Amino acid sequence: TGKFTYDPGFTSTASCDSALTYIDGDEGVLLHRGYPIGQLAEHSSFMEVSYLLLNGELPSSDELSQFSRTITRHTMLHEQLMTFYRGFRRDAHPMAVMCGVVGALSAFYHDSTDISDPVQRMIASHRLIAKMPTIAAMAYKYSVGQPFIYPDNSLSYTGNFLRMTFGVPAEPYVVNPVVERALDRIFILHADHEQNASTSTVRLAGSSGANPFACIAAGIACLWGPAHGGANEAALNMLREIGTPDRIPHYIARAKDKNDPFRLMGFGHRVYKNYDPRATVMQQTVREVFASLNVTDPLFETALQLEEIALNDPYFVEKKLFPNVDFYSGIILSAIGFPTAMFTALFALARTVGWVAQWNEMISDPGQKIGRPRQLYTGPAQRDYLPVDKR
């Protein structure tokens, strides 16, 4: 002891240099390559943000169409993978399926992936970005017993995903542009978030030189947990459990009770000690989607009131707990028609861009080393082995 700094949860350890994403948690600022998330969410597209994260600059219009063509070229899955799905139980959680299928991609692209070659790394990155919507949509189709829908490359990245998820062979699927835009915006909001748990997992797995598809599967596993990506699912389940606004005080009291493990899901963040800028855009998007679909959800009212009560409660004020990106996303996804279990799969789809961009950045860093934290040992001192009859 004494030799190493004890930093559980890595609250004060910078594990890398990175030029991708900047967060000022006290001010509620999030920038990708310098661009504020609010501007990207309003004016940009997920394809453009993907290009920006991977390449460092916003694309020209030629670069954007070239990039989109490259991505669409890779949207299909190897037919053999279709049979892989059939090995899962129909009621498997989509994240379990995603983890398995993305991990299995490593067996399809094993030899071609020379990670020391930047061109090969970019191809692996494009493949992952392109195939995630297909993989996530197929996980959904499998769970509801409907046939897999092949990608249609005449549609946008997000439109194609909507069609693969909600389309059926029996009738044409028409993409609703407002829903397409809202989902694209949700993807932008989830694209990257510097060294969060799943991204750090991808970097750590990748630091040994492992296959990129296997590394992304590790990121998916980490994202699944309710303290991370699983929070969007947990937040909507919580709102459903609370139900009506009159029951909010009871749950606020539970969240404050240190003897009760209950936490307000979609609230609080390791880095943001102010309003999560992504939550602001998310709340506004709920209103747009409701207006365009001509629907409403009483849970939105519950969520708004919960937020207001929490933000005026000394416990949440003192601990600087604010709604995070996941507080409102579930309400939109559910209005679009996604079942709760798919929410984290959509997060994984979008975060894949951040994962591959961070992985590329790490591998191309000349100072890159295998990640190998140390520990403070607390076990017994050296002692001698005793035969079993002497213990």
Q: Residue of minimal CB distance from ligand CMC?
A: 268
Q: Mask 182-201, x = binds ligand CMC (CB under 6 A)? A: -----------x--x-----
| Of the candidate residues 142, 224, 267, 359, the single one contacting ligand CMC (CB under 6 A) | 267
Residue 266 binds ligand CMC, judged by CB under 6 A: yes
The continuous run of DSSP H or E covering 378 comes out as none
Site size for ligand CMC, by CB under 6 A? 21
- Residues 36-55 binding ligand CMC (CB under 6 A) are none
- Least gap, CB of 170 to ligand CMC (angstroms): 37
Point out which residues pair with 36 in neighbouring strands: 31
Point out which residues pair with 323 in neighbouring strands: 267
Interface segment toward ligand CMC; rule CB under 6 A; list 121-129, 159-167, 257-265, 360-368: 257-265
HEC assignment per residue over the chain:
CCCCCCCHHHCCCCCCCCCCEEEECCCCEEEECCEEHHHHHHHCCHHHHHHHHHHCCCCCHHHHHHHHHHHHHCCCCCHHHHHHHCCCCCCCCHHHHHHHHHHHHHHHCCCCCCCCCHHHHHHHHHHHHHHHHHHHHHHHHHHHCCCCCCCCCCCCHHHHHHHHHHCECCECCCCCHHHHHHHHHHHHHHCCCCCCHHHHHHHHHHCCCCCHHHHHHHHHHHHCCCCCCCHHHHHHHHHHHHCCHHHHHHHHHHHHCCCCCCCCCCECCCCCCCCCHHHHHHHHHHHHHHHHHCCCCHHHHHHHHHHHHHHCCHHHHHCCCCECCHHHHHHHHHHHCCCHHHHHHHHHHHHHHHHHHHHHHHHCCCCCCCCCCCCCCCCCCCCCCCCHHHC
Residue closer to ligand CMC (CB basis): 139 or 271: 271
Tokens of 173: 């699927």
Q: Which of 184, 192, 276, 326 is catalytic?
A: 326
Residue 270 binds ligand CMC, judged by CB under 6 A: yes
The continuous run of DSSP H or E covering 357 comes out as helix 343-363
Residue closer to ligand CMC (CB basis): 71 or 264: 264
Interface segment toward ligand CMC; rule CB under 6 A; list 53-61, 96-104, 157-165, 261-269: 261-269
- Residues 221-240 binding ligand CMC (CB under 6 A) are 227-229, 231
- Least gap, CB of 223 to ligand CMC (angstroms): 7
Tokens of 98: 């995603």
Among the listed residues 58, 325, 332, the one whose alpha carbon sits nearest the alpha carbon of residue 191: 325
Residue closer to ligand CMC (CB basis): 46 or 166: 46
Distance between CA atoms of 299 and 333, rounded to whole angstroms?
Answer: 13
Q: Is 114 a catalytic residue?
A: no
Residue closer to ligand CMC (CB basis): 325 or 349: 325
Q: Which of 152, 269, 297, 384 is catalytic?
A: 269
Q: Is 269 a catalytic residue?
A: yes
Give the SS3 label for residue 60. Answer: coil
| Of the candidate residues 28, 268, 330, 354, the single one contacting ligand CMC (CB under 6 A) | 268
- Residues 125-184 binding ligand CMC (CB under 6 A) are none
Residue closer to ligand CMC (CB basis): 129 or 282: 282
Give the SS3 label for residue 31. Answer: strand
- Least gap, CB of 334 to ligand CMC (angstroms): 17
| Of the candidate residues 23, 128, 265, 350, the single one contacting ligand CMC (CB under 6 A) | 265
Residue closer to ligand CMC (CB basis): 246 or 257: 257
- Residues 272-331 binding ligand CMC (CB under 6 A) are 319, 321, 324-326
- Residues 64-103 binding ligand CMC (CB under 6 A) are none
Interface segment toward ligand CMC; rule CB under 6 A; list 121-129, 163-171, 267-275, 379-387: 267-275
Residue closer to ligand CMC (CB basis): 240 or 319: 319
- Least gap, CB of 234 to ligand CMC (angstroms): 7
Contact residues for ligand CMC, defined by CB under 6 A: 9, 193, 196, 227-229, 231, 255, 263-270, 319, 321, 324-326
Which active-site residues does the annotation give? 269, 326
